[in-house]
Structure 1
Amino acid sequence: MGGATATAALAGCTGRLEGTLSAGPATVSADARAETGYDEHAVEELVVERTVGRFGIERTIEATNWYAEYDRAIALDSLGLTRAQAAVTAVLTTPQVSVLGRTFNPVGDLSTAELVTMIQNRYDGLESVEFEDETTLSILGSETTVDRYVAEARLVDVGTTVDVYLQVSEPVEHGEDFVICIAVYPQALGFETESDAVETMFEGLEHDAESD
């Protein structure tokens, strides 16, 4: 994932009426990674500036967000590939926005497509996105809705468009931060096989709620 891409997706989405604020990183536990076979690809700080305000009062703040990405090689026999790093799970952590006593959800306005741009080092050009169903998982101690979509996306490493499943959690409020989980993987492997691993990854999150 490119830091510039994620920063663009987050620009204008974070801030509190203070000079600076920071989220605490949310990462997948070692036990969950070991169980699913996912490897840590990146854990990065994403710093953005934004002018926020209410009732005509404005202030420029600097916000530190965190992005963690994990991947796993899976078989893509239908594409003539033995293995490819095509199963991707990502976690975005961003500080809450509070302006004159009102708290805003800083990731609530991002579309599914905008969230997926954060893993464009692996997938690009998401098209034909259709909602399929939803499930409820326990993420950071909260019962959380996770939506599942079917879509088409270009697998960057291969240069081929593939049918994929996309899973996106609703934002989880944890401490002073919001946390959102995203997963993309080809349909070629079969949904039920990979969805179990994704659920384990989502439910295996760890986050320091006091890091703001």
Structure 2
Amino acid sequence: MQTWLHWIDLAGVAVFAIAGTLMAYKKHMDGFGVVVLASVTAIGGGTLRDMILDRPVFWVQDPSFFYVITLAAFTTIIWLRTQKTFPLRYLLFADAIGLAFFNVIGLQKALTYGASPMIAIALGTMTGVFGGLIRDVICQEIPLVLRSEIYATACIFGGASYITALHFELNTLACMSICFCLTLAARLGAIKWHWHLPVFNPHDSVKDE
């Protein structure tokens, strides 16, 4: 299982590094900016998770994560140079996949270290959204997690599905697969059909009593 978790972690880092590189390309950053943005996007959420769990930060002990970030960023740059335009859907799709990967790995690691189901769902969500949050703040964009479309809620939905599957005694790999698929489906559905949570009517005025 540890081998599976390691490969899932690497996959999440790679996809979020791609998302960070796409944003850097969109903002016309230089090579250093690309590396910085790809790195903070890829490792930000996992770093926060490990600090909260009081565990050694994953990338400090394993330099292979930075090799993956560098390879993902370099490959993405080469691919972007062959494109004449930059459709925003590339960034949103890469971000959605990274969100699902990191939600799964954050949730699973939290449970492995004895967190309760509710705390595990919260840590999975933090792992999924925090790297993208840092990326968007650096780029002076409104963070995706703060926009009206479902984002963090997709992680909570996926995490709840994991805990439910665990309750029915499905094996860990099945639980992780369900969590990944439902998180990704919820996020992609929100992108395509603009799903969002109910909000206050912006035309409503607040009156003092």
Question: Is the shorter-chain TM-score for this pair beyond 0.5, marking a shared fold?
Answer: no
TM-score, scaled to structure 1? 0.28
Which structure features the higher share of strand residues? 1
Length-normalised TM-score, structure 2: 0.28
